[in-house]
């Protein structure tokens, strides 16, 4: 592999790795030669992923069962991981999005829960793992968020708000990180995941139409004319972790089939 794309000798922690974009990103990093720790709440799904990571080319692979909403447990898990395995060079912040629905129907508690899970968890992970990155002189933080950072999506009121907060947090962090450590956001468009399937069902039920009609309306706004694949989003995330992407910092980059209208 081209040295500028190799992640051999680098340790990656991938959150939400049991399915969807998180799982695909773990596999993409493994294909670049990284040692991968796959984190999720579902231990069973993680265990089936480990042999796939090794087959894909991971320098090592392990699972870490952890609920990202429980910060004391997260901190304890991170401390054990660094003690047992060593510094984490690559952090993929990825967590399931908030429930859909109009923003005026959302309670204050829904915003609080989402902010805790996304922004505060990402902050905890970053602050905890940053010393190891600084010591190693290499660090990559990639946040998997949403195109709603640039254009809010109808019916995703809480998600639109929290994703924008994540992007603002990330941009601020990018100004304070030392040289050699970058943070960037990947903005998936309509991507074929369990999360999107659930949102489609919610929208269809709310509007009393068929899920297929909801998907057709979504795709009408996508020049590529199809849903994205998790692997396509993961390829972008993995590239941002390589040495070749060392001058990309504080950016929000969409993988959306051309749906966004902004330049």
Adjacent-strand bridge partners of 101: 156
Task: Give the C-alpha separation, 230 to 131, whole Å.
Answer: 31
The predicted pLDDT at position 191 comes to 96
Contact 121, 216 (CB under 8 A): no
Q: What is the pTM for the complete model shown? A: 0.96
Q: Which tens digit of pLDDT belongs to each residue from 34-73?
A: 999 999 998 888 999 999 999 999 999 999 999 999 999 9
Q: Is the pLDDT of residue 216 over 80?
A: yes
On the 0-12 / 13-18 / 19+ scale of CB atoms within 10 A, 132 is: middle
CA 151 to chain centre: 18
Other beta carbons less than 10 A from residue 189's beta carbon:
23
Q: Provide mean pLDDT across the span 227-248.
A: 98
The predicted pLDDT at position 44 comes to 85
Nearest to 141, CA basis, from 2, 41, 14? 14
Mean pLDDT (the chain, rounded): 96
**Band of the pLDDT at 247, cuts 50, 70, 90?**
very high
Instruction: Provide φ and ψ at 140, rounded to 5°.
Output: -135, 125
The predicted pLDDT at position 220 comes to 95
Q: Provide mean pLDDT across the span 134-139.
A: 97
The predicted pLDDT at position 100 comes to 87
Q: Is the pLDDT of residue 27 over 90?
A: yes
The predicted pLDDT at position 127 comes to 98
CA 178 to chain centre: 22
Other beta carbons less than 10 A from residue 76's beta carbon:
12
**Band of the pLDDT at 188, cuts 50, 70, 90?**
very high
Q: Is the pLDDT of residue 135 over 90?
A: yes
**Band of the pLDDT at 4, cuts 50, 70, 90?**
very high
Torsion of CA 256, 149, 215, 26, to 10 degrees: 60
Q: Which tens digit of pLDDT belongs to each residue from 70-109?
A: 999 999 999 999 999 999 999 999 998 888 889 999 999 9
The predicted pLDDT at position 99 comes to 85
The predicted pLDDT at position 58 comes to 97
**Band of the pLDDT at 199, cuts 50, 70, 90?**
confident
Task: Give the C-alpha separation, 113 to 127, whole Å.
Answer: 20
Q: Provide mean pLDDT across the span 190-206.
A: 90
The predicted pLDDT at position 203 comes to 87
Residue-by-residue DSSP string for 87-108? ---EEEE--PPPPPB-GGG--H
The predicted pLDDT at position 230 comes to 97
Q: Is the pLDDT of residue 244 over 90?
A: yes
**Band of the pLDDT at 263, cuts 50, 70, 90?**
confident
Q: Is the pLDDT of residue 226 over 90?
A: yes
């Amino acid at each position: 592999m081209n040295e500028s794309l190799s992640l051999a000798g680098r340790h990656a922690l991938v959150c939400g790795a049991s399915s969807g974009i998180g799982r695909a990103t773990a596999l993409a990093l493994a294909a670049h030669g990284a040692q991968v720790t796959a984190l999720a709440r579902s231990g069973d799904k993680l265990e089936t992923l480990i042999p796939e990571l090794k087959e894909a080319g991971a320098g090592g692979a392990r699972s870490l069962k952890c609920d990202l909403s429980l910060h004391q447990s997260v901190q304890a898990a991170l401390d054990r991981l660094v003690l047992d395995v060593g510094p984490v060079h690559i952090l993929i912040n990825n967590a399931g999005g908030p429930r859909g629905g109009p923003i005026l129907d959302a309670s204050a508690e829904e915003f609080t829960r989402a902010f805790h899970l996304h922004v505060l968890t990402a902050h905890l992970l970053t602050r905890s793992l940053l010393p190891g990155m600084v010591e190693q002189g290499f660090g990559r933080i990639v946040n998997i968020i949403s195109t709603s950072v640039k254009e809010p999506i109808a019916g995703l009121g809480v998600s639109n708000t929290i994703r924008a907060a994540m992007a603002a947090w990330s941009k601020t962090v990018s100004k304070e990180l030392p040289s050699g450590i970058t943070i960037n956001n990947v903005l998936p468009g309509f991507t074929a995941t369990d999360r999107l399937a659930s949102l489609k069902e919610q929208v269809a039920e709310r509007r009393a139409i068929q899920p297929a009609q909801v998907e057709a309306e979504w795709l009408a706004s996508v020049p590529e004319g199809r849903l994205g694949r998790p692997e396509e989003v993961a390829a972008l995330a993995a590239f941002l972790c390589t040495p070749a992407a060392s001058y990309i910092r504080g950016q929000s980059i969409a993988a959306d089939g051309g749906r966004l209208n902004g330049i």
